[in-house]
Amino acid sequence: MKKIFVACGAGVVTSTIAITKLKEGLEERNIPEDNYKIGQGSVGEIESNAGDYDAVLVTSQYESDNVNIPIINGISLLTGVGADSVIDQIASIIQS
């Protein structure tokens, strides 16, 4: 099972929207929910949680040399522009 950490500024509103869109997109790609687990938090929690996850999806600007897992910009899940590409990236991580 792959684990994805979804983060936004405060860890509540935009990450919740991104999780909803991500789950819808993964369902459309026939990836069952028992193949992945999604955690949620703020960007300030990324570094302390990164060791427990396979990838991070962020809905704000974030860069760190201290995180050794893929960091995927998920702003497109909020805007709709390019959302399929982001969902495809996460799907690829889950299926790897």
Active site (catalytic) residues: 8
| Residues 6 or more apart whose Cβ sits within 8 Å of residue 50 | 5, 56, 66, 67, 68, 69
The DSSP symbol for 57 reads: E
Measured in whole angstroms, the distance separating CA 41 from the mean position of its chain's CA atoms is 11
